[in-house]
Structure 1
Amino acid sequence: MSDNSTTTYMNSYLLLIFFACLTVRWCVSINSYSGAGKPPMYGDYEAQRHWMEVTFNLPVQKWYQNSSDNDLQYWGLDYPPLTAYHSWLCGYVADKINPDWVALQSSRGYESDTHKLFMRYTVMIVDVILYLPAILLFYLFAIKGKTIGERLFLTSIVLLYPGLILIDHGHFQYNNASLGLTVFAVTFVSLGHDLWGSFFFVCALNYKQMELYHSVPFFCFLLGKCIKSSEENGLWKLIKIGSVVVLTFGLCWLPFLRDTDVALQVLRRLFPFGRGLFEDKVSNIWCVLDVLFKLKRNIAQDHLVLLSLATTIMCLLPSAFHLLLNPTIEKFKYSLVNCSLVFFLFSYQVHEKSILIPALSVCLVFHNQPFLASWFLLISTFSMFPLLMKDDLVLPYFALTLLFITAVVFYLVLFEHQSTSTFLILLGMLSVCGSVSISTVAVTIPAPPRYPDIYPVLISGYSCGHFLFFLLYFYYAQLSCEFDGNDTKSNKQAKLKVPKKKQKYQHKKKGKKRD
C-alpha cells in the first residue's frame, strides 16, 4: 500500500472512530443522571453545577471557605484548583446563556432540558479536547510492533470502555479530564519527553487528587531514569524535572498561596479524613471485611487511617522499588496498574468510581494483555452497577457491555495470534457470565426486606475477589517483563501467557535502547 493510500485509510478510520465514539457517548447522555429529581441534595450532576455557581459568583479565596454564600455541607468544592478553574469557565459560559443556571443560592437544584443539554455538552467537549486525542496519540505513537490497522482497532476498543462512558456521560462527572491529562503524560514519557510528561501529570494531579494513585510509578520511573544516567546528566535531568513540577504546582495554586490559611483550607477539603474508611459499597478490601467484622464500628478512625496507610505502603513497595531499579516503559505501565489498584483496594476513603483510575492504567497495557485487560475492564464496570442502577442507567450498562464484548471478540479473532491459556479463557468467560447473571438478577428480583443491601454487598465481594486476582497477575507481569516495549521484538515477548509447558527464553542481543 502506498504512503498516500495509507494516510487516506488512516484519516478515514480516525474520523470513523471519532464520530462513532461521540455517537455512543451522546446516546448514553440522553438518559438519566445522578440525583435527577431527587431533592434536597440531588447528586453529582448538581454538585458540578453548584461548583460552577460558587466559582463564578465568589472570589477565588472564598471557593473553599465555608460562608453564608458557600455552605460546604451542600456539595462544597473538594477537588484541586484546576477543577475549580474548569468550573469557573463553565459557569462563565452558563451565565452568558442563562444567568438562572448559576444564580447564587437561588439556582440550587436547577433542572431543565436546556440546562441538561448544556451540561452534557461540557463533558463532550472535554472528551473532544483531551481524552479522545490522548488515547489516539498513545496508540498511534507510543506503542510499537503493531500494524496501523491493529493500533486503530485498539484505539476504538479502549475508547468504548463502558465504565468511563457511563460515569461521565451518564452519571455525570469529568473524569475524562484528569484521565486524559494522565494519558498525555504517559505518552510523552514513553516517547522520551519527560519534561512534558511531568507537566501533564502535575496538571492531572491538580485536577483530581485521586491521581495520587499514579504518582508513585511516575516518581520512581523518572527518578530511576535520572539515576541510570551519567552523574552529571542525571543530576541535570532531575533538576529540570523538579523545576517543571514545582513551577506547574506553583502556577496552579498561585491564587491560594497568598494566604496560608486559605491554602490550608484547600488541603483540608482535598483530604477529608472525617468521611470514613470508604463510601457506599465499594469493591475494596475494607468494605468486604466490614461486612464480616464491622471495621468502622470496632476500630477507631485514627487507627483505621494508620492501618490503611501501612497496608497500602507495604503492597506498593515491591512494584515501586522494582520500577526504580528497572525504569523501562513496559515496567512503568504495569506499575501504573499495580500501584493504582493497590490504592483502590487498600487506601483510606475510596469511592466506587475510583476504579476508573486503575481501569485507565489497564487500558494502556491492552495491546500487551488484550484478554486479561478486557476482562478487567468488564469487571470494573460491573463493580459500579449498584450506582448505575440508582441512576437508572441499566439499559446503557447492558448495551455498552455487549458492544464492548463484541469489539473485543472481533479484535481477538482478527489480530491476536498469541495463544492464551485455555484455563484463563474459561475462567474469564465464567466470570463475565457470572457478573451479567448477578446484574440481571439484581434488576429483575427485588432484594428481600431483611437484606436490602444484599446485591451491593454481593457485587462488591465478587468484584473485590477479581481485583485481588488481577493485582497478583499484573504484579507477575511487571516482575517478569524483561524487555522495554518500545521495539517490535520486545513488544511481542513482553506479552504474558500461562504456557502449557515450560519454555526456555532466549536473551535478546544487546543493542541501543531508549526509554
Structure 2
Amino acid sequence: MHKRGMRDWVVPSIVAFAVLLKVCIGVGSYSGEATPPMYGDYEAQRHWMELTQHLPFRQWYTYDLQYWGLDYPPLTAYHSWLCGFIGSLIDPSWFALDTSRGIETPSSKLFMRMTVLVSDLLIYIPALILFTRTFLPSPTRSSRSRSFALLTLLLQPALILVDNGHFQFNSIMLGFTILALCAFARDKDELGAVAFVAALGFKQMSLYYAPAIGSYLVAKCLWLPAPANVRLFTRLALVTGASFGILFLPFFLPPLASSPLDILNPISRIFPFSRGLFEDKVANWWCASNVVIKWRRIAGDGEAGRRWLVRASAGLTALGFLPAVVGLVKAGWGLRVREPSVKKADRDIHEPKPLEVSSTPTTDPPPFISLLTYALLSSSASFFLFSFQVHEKTILLPLLPLTLLMSAATPESAPWKWGCLVNNVAVFSMWPLLRRDGLAVPYVALTVLWDRVVGYNPFGVRAGVGVVEVLGLVVHLAAIGLHLLELVIPAPARYPDLFPVLNVLICTPVFGLAWLWSLKCGVEVGWALGGYSSSSSSSPSIRDSKSESQQQHSGFEPIEEVATGSGAQWGEDTARRRNVGGPDSGVGDGVW
C-alpha cells in the first residue's frame, strides 16, 4: 500500500482487519456457554447490565451476591448501565431482572459481542494509535514502522482471546492506561492522572501499575525546581482526589445512597481478601511452588492462616516491584533541575532526550520517562507472580508494557525476543481456560497468525543464538509435547489436575525471567541516563561521559541494544524480515 501511494489507507485497513478478526473470534463460543446454573464470565457481564438497569445505586453491590454479584469498581458499573440501557431499548427481555438469567438468544449474543467491539473502537484502538504517534514520532520513525507497531499491538492474541472469545472488557482498562502514558509523554501529567484513575475505576487490576505510575509522578515532582514541583504535586493530589470522588459519589451521597457507609459496599467487593490464596491453577510463584511447598497447610486453616498468606503475598509483591520504584525516584532526584535560571536551550545541550513526541508540548518530558515502561512491566509482573488471588487472565497486564516495548523495538533485539516469547507463553498459560471455553481453534490460529505477522519463529536455526532463543525453543517444545500428551493420555484419576500443573511449571519460569529482565533493563537505563549519580543533572561531566547512542535511548529498549548498529544495512535486514521495503523505508533510522 505504501508503494502504491495508498499510505493514508494503511491505518484504517489495519483497524478494519483487526475488527474483522475480532468478529470472527466472536462467532465462536464463550465462557460458560450453555452451562447452567452459573454459566460464566459472559453471563456475569450481562447480569451486571441487568441489575444496574433495575436497581438503585445502593443495591448494585449487595443484590444476590451468590449469583455473579458485582465486584468491579464503579466505572465498570456505569459502563454496564450504559450498555444495558442501550440494549433494553432494542429488546427489554435481554436484561429483564432475574428472568433473563442465562439468556443466550442469537440477538442478545450479537449485542453483547458488539459492546466489546464498540468499546474497543471508542477507547482501546484510538489509544494505540495515539501511542504510535507519541512514542514513534515523525521524522525519527517512518509511517511504515508506526503502522507495523499498530498491527503488532492490535493483533495481540491473548487480549483478543480473552475479550472477544472468553468475553471480558479488559481493553477498556488497558486503553485508559495507554492514554495515561501518552499524556505523561506529552507533559500533561494531570490529564494522565485522570486517565489512570479511570483505569483504576474500571478494573482494580490496574493497581498492578500503580507503584510505577505513582513513583514516576513522585520522581517528576523531585525533578522539577521549586516552586513548580509543589504546584505539580498539589494539582496531582487535587485532580486524583476529585476523580476518585466523582467515581464513588453515588455510593455515599444521599439520597442516592441510604447512608455514607454505603461506600464500603463496592470497596469490600473490589478487594477479595475473603477468598483463598489462589483458585484455579495460575502460572505464578504460589501455584508453581505449591507443588512442593503446601502453603495453605503451612499457614494453617481459619482467619489467622488467611491473614498470614495475605501478608506474605503483599510482602513478596512489594519486594518484587521495589527496585523499579526506587530506580524511578532515584533517577528523578539524581537528574533534578538545580538551576532553574538556566535557559532551556542551554540545558538541552547536556541533557539527553530519551523520548520524542509528535506534538510540541510547552516543556519536554523528563529524561527518566524512558524508565516508566520498564517499571510498569516490573510492577505488573511482580503482582502477577506474587500477589493474592491472581487469575490466569491477569497476565494481560504485564503483557501490555512488554508488547509496547516490543512494538517499538528492532527485530532480534532483546525487547522483541522477550515480547514474542512471553506473548506466546501467555497464550499457552491460558490454555486450560480456553479449552473449557471451546476456543481451541482460535487459540492455535491467532498464535500462528501473530507469530507470522511479527516474524517470530522459535524453531528457526540462525547464527548468534542466545539464552532467549534457547529458552524459547525449549518452552515451545515442552508446550507442544504437553498438548500431544493431553490428546493421547487422559489425566490419571489420582491427579486430575496433572496437565494444568505441568502447564504452570512450564510457564512460570518464563514469566519470572521476564520480570528479572525488566529489572535489569531499568537499572541499565537509569545508569545510562545518569540518574543514579549523586551529581547534579546540570553537570556537563555526567552528560559528556555518556555515549551518543545512550543519549538517544528511546525508553523502549535496553541500552546495550541501542548501541548495536543502525542505518542502511540494518534497514535492509529489517525490511527483508518484515517484507516492508528496502533501505530507504526508514524503519531502522532515527533513535535506533
What TM-score, normalized by structure 2, do the two folds share?
A: 0.78
CA contact (8 A) 2:529 2:550 kept: no
Instruction: Report the 3-state secondary structure (helix = DSSP H, G, I; strand = E; otherwise coil) of the residue aligned with 1:28.
Output: helix
Equivalent in the alignment of 1:437: 481
Change (3 A) 1:49 1:468: same
* Deviation (angstroms), 1:409: 0.8
Structure 2 residue 275 is matched with structure 1 residue 275: yes
Partner Cα separation in structure 1 for residue 549 and residue 236 of structure 2? 22
State whether structure 2 residue 9 is matched by structure 1 residue 12: yes
Structure 1 position 49 matched with structure 2 position 22: no
Aligned partners of 1:128, 1:432: CA distance in 2, in Å? Answer: 33
- Contact preservation (8 Å) 2:420, 2:456: no
SS in 2 for 1:292: coil
**Corresponding residue SS for 1:149:** helix
Partner of 2:180: 185
The counterpart of 2:308, out of the listed 278, 303, 312, is 303
Residue 182 of structure 1 deviates from its aligned partner by: 0.6
Q: 2:405 aligns with which of 365, 368, 373?
A: 365
1:104 paired to 2:97: yes
Write the deviation string for residues 186-210 of structure 1: whole angstroms up to 9, x where unpaired: 1111222111111100000000001
Q: Is the Cα contact below 8 Å between 1:421 and 1:497 reproduced in 2?
A: no
Q: Deviations over 1:155-186 (max 9, x none)?
A: 10111111000000000000011011111111
Matched, 1:465 2:460: no
Distance 1:234 1:492, change over 3 A: closer
Correspondence for 1:451 among 492, 495, 498 = 495
Distance 1:219 1:420 in 2: 39
Alpha-carbon offset, residue 397 of structure 1: 0.3
CA contact (8 A) 2:475 2:506 kept: no
| Distance in 1 of aligned mates of 2:13 and 2:550 | 28
- Correspondence list, 1:410-421, <5 A: none
Distance 1:10 1:203, change over 3 A: farther
d(CA) in 1 for partners of 2:41, 2:556: 44
Q: Which residue of 2 aligns with 1:197?
A: 192
The one-letter amino acid of 1:490's match is H
Q: Equivalences for 1:227-266 in 2 at 5 Å?
A: 227-258=222-253, 259-266=259-266
Of the structure 1 ranges 391-400 and 265-274, higher mean CA displacement relative to structure 2 is found in: 265-274
1:73 to 58, 66, 73: 66
Aligned mates of 2:7, 2:60 — CA distance in 1: 45
> Aligned AA for 1:139?
T
Deviation at 1:422, TM superposition (A): 3.4
Residues 493 and 76 (structure 1 numbering): CA distance in 2 closer, same or farther, change over 3 Å?
A: closer
1:199-214 equivalences in 2 (<5 Å): 199-214=194-209
Deviation per residue, 1:421-456 (Å, 9 max, x gap): 534323323323432332343345432223211111
Task: Tell me: CA distance 1:225–1:289, structure 2 relative to 1, closer, same or farther (3 Å).
Answer: same
Aligned 8 A contact 1:101 1:110 in 2: yes
CA contact 1:28–1:170 (8 Å) conserved in 2: yes
Residue in structure 2 matching 1:381, options 412, 418, 427: 427
Q: SS at the partner of 2:496?
A: coil
Q: Is the 8 A contact 1:224 1:323 kept in 2?
A: yes
Report 1:88-237 matches (<5 A): 88-144=81-137, 145-237=140-232
Give the stretch that moved more between structures: 304-313 or 258-267: 258-267
Gaps of 5+ in 2: 254-258, 300-304, 333-367, 410-414, 531-547, 565-592
Q: For residue 511 of structure 1, what is the aligned residue in structure 2?
A: none
Q: Partners in 1 of 2:188 and 2:484 — Cα distance?
A: 47
Contact (CA 8 Å) 2:42, 2:166: kept in 1 or not?
yes
Cα RMSD for the two superposed structures: 2.5
User: Structure 2: how far apart are the matches of 1:76 and 1:94?
Assistant: 20
CA offsets 1:213-251 (integer angstroms, 9 cap, x no match): 001111100110111100100000111111111111111
Greater shift after overlay, 47-56 or 133-142? Answer: 133-142
- Name the counterpart of 2:375: 335
- 1:338-391 per-position Cα deviation (integer Å, ceiling 9, x unaligned): 000000100111111111111112122112311211111111111111000010
In structure 2, the CA distance between the partners of 1:123 and 1:487, relative to structure 1 (3 Å rule), is farther
Q: How many residues align?
A: 487
Percent identity (aligned): 37
SS in 2 for 1:231: coil
Instruction: Return the alpha-carbon distance in structure 2 between the equivalents of residues 278 and 11 of structure 1.
Output: 48
Q: Which amino acid aligns with 1:289?
A: S
Q: Is the 2:127–2:176 contact (alpha carbons within 8 Å) kept by the matching residues of 1? A: yes
Using the alignment, how far apart are the partners of 2:389 and 2:377 within structure 1?
Answer: 19
Say whether the 8 Å CA contact 1:140–1:148 is kept in structure 2: no
What SS does structure 1 have at the residue aligned with 2:279? coil
Match of 2:395 among 347, 351, 355: 355
Deviates more, 1:127-136 or 1:387-396: 127-136
Deviations 1:283-334, CA, capped at 9 Å, x for gaps: 1111112222221233111110111111111222111010112241221110
Instruction: Say if 2:53 and 2:81, in contact at 8 Å, map to a contact too.
Output: yes
Report the CA distance shift for 1:304/1:405 in structure 2 as closer, same or farther (over 3 A). Answer: same
